A = this chain, B = another copy of it.
Amino acid sequence: MPTTIRDISKETGLSLATISKYLNGGNVLPENREKIAMAVEKLHYEVNEIARSLVTKKTRTIGVVVYSVECAFNGSFIHYVNNILSEKGYGLLICDSSNDEKKEAANIKFLLNKKVDGMIVTPVSNNTEFLKPAKTAEVPVVLVDRALKSSEFDCVKIDNRTTAMDAVNLLIKNNHQKIAIICSAKEYTGIERYKGYRDAMSQAGLSVPASYQKKGIHAMEYGYESMKQLLKLKDRPTAVFMTNYELTLGAVMAVNESSEVNCPEHISMLGFDDLILAHVIQPRMYMVVQPVKEMGEKAVEQVLRRIAGNDDVSCEINMNAHLKRGNSIKMLA
């Protein structure tokens, strides 16, 4: 049997209330303070967080649910969130939705049952219905990445549309006109980035044939297949914009496999998210880089603020992405 606060009480002759006060930093006579410390030492006492949680209704645990841990953005994101949170003595309960809305809803319920103090979520889709139980349980939620502006939840994200416009404009400035896009069309982020592409193109007076618009799912395989198809077109694009990390990887694979087409000689590429992989591939990719670390920091900050009871209005934190230079884009004449 592990020692309890009661054993400490017996050992010191002090009451439970006093021991508890000591443990929580209350006022205790130096003399008694000493006594308790010795007893704790002697009996190897450790507070039982479960019992504590039962009465305080705080678990010092944050739930993190991501659309897929396999997507590198989430892996990286979890890494940073974990770092900050563990420093503050918080635990991290991680759930993977595997891009499945049903699973996502189940994850929320699961975490609610586990009584997490708050949640950080990168959602599967832009349907936030699944968050209702958290709302009614009054557990704060911060949405990240695929976060909806219109939602009633806090969120931290980049301005996907503008960011994508800037990216495409870079290609246009390099005199590209036949610009294709490979994006995911199932969730907010992908859709917004697509809109940015569309707007940039029309602003520049450039039209885009349907065959240049690959709108699919967020997966390396889709990036690979799409790029293969683009390369086969009679009227091949001179540049391709990939709107997330996995799509970028797939596209690079496809180009690498081709013996005829070379990057940037025959095709220019602009990718998304400068995660570890990007350092190893040739040529060095031109990339849109999201500030993953900072996004993690902001998300943690915000969820902790809510937990502390700070009831300011629902807030939307916008971060800036930036372009990282590479040599995957060719300046056309």
A96 to chain B, nearest CB (A): 5
Question: Does A114 lie within 8 Å of B91, measured CB to CB?
Answer: yes
The answer, among B49, B54, B95, B249, for a CB contact under 8 Å with A113, is B49
Question: Does A48 lie within 8 Å of B253, measured CB to CB?
Answer: no
A79 to chain B, nearest CB (A): 5
Question: Does A93 lie within 8 Å of B96, measured CB to CB?
Answer: no
Q: Apart from A256-B280, A282-B282, what 19 extra A-B contacts exist at CB < 8 Å?
A: A2-B137, A46-B112, A48-B54, A49-B113, A51-B54, A69-B75, A70-B79, A86-B95, A91-B93, A93-B93, A249-B276, A249-B279, A249-B280, A253-B279, A256-B281, A256-B282, A276-B277, A280-B280, A280-B281
CA distance A83 to B48 in the complex (A): 29
CA distance A59 to B114 in the complex (A): 9
Question: Does B96 lie within 8 Å of A86, measured CB to CB?
Answer: yes
| A49 neighbours in B (Cβ, 8 Å) | 113-115
Question: 22 A-B Cβ contacts within 8 A?
Answer: A49-B113, A50-B50, A50-B54, A61-B93, A69-B75, A69-B79, A70-B276, A75-B75, A78-B94, A82-B95, A82-B96, A83-B96, A83-B98, A92-B93, A92-B95, A94-B94, A220-B279, A253-B279, A256-B280, A256-B282, A277-B280, A280-B281
| A113 neighbours in B (Cβ, 8 Å) | 46-47, 49
Copies of the chain in the assembly? 2
Nearest-neighbor residue (CB-CB) of A90 within chain B: B110
Question: Does B115 lie within 8 Å of A50, measured CB to CB?
Answer: yes
CA distance A22 to B86 in the complex (A): 38
| A92 neighbours in B (Cβ, 8 Å) | 93-95
Asked if A20 CB lies within 8 Å of chain B CBs, one says no
A133 to chain B, nearest CB (A): 9
Question: Does B54 lie within 8 Å of A82, measured CB to CB?
Answer: no
Asked if A211 CB lies within 8 Å of chain B CBs, one says no
Within 8 A of B (CB), among A110-140: 110, 112-115, 137
| A47 neighbours in B (Cβ, 8 Å) | 113
CA distance A252 to B256 in the complex (A): 15
Nearest-neighbor residue (CB-CB) of A283 within chain B: B256
Question: Does B96 lie within 8 Å of A79, measured CB to CB?
Answer: yes
Question: Does A252 lie within 8 Å of B277, measured CB to CB?
Answer: no
CA distance A93 to B115 in the complex (A): 14
Q: Given A69-B75, A113-B46, A276 and B94 touching (CB < 8 A)?
A: no
CA distance A252 to B236 in the complex (A): 31
Asked if A53 CB lies within 8 Å of chain B CBs, one says yes
Question: Does A253 lie within 8 Å of B277, measured CB to CB?
Answer: no
3 A-B pairs closest in CB distance:
A256-B282, A69-B79, A50-B53
CA distance A113 to B75 in the complex (A): 26
Within 8 A of B (CB), among A250-284: 252-253, 256, 276-277, 279-282
CA distance A78 to B47 in the complex (A): 29
CA distance A47 to B83 in the complex (A): 31
CA distance A49 to B95 in the complex (A): 17
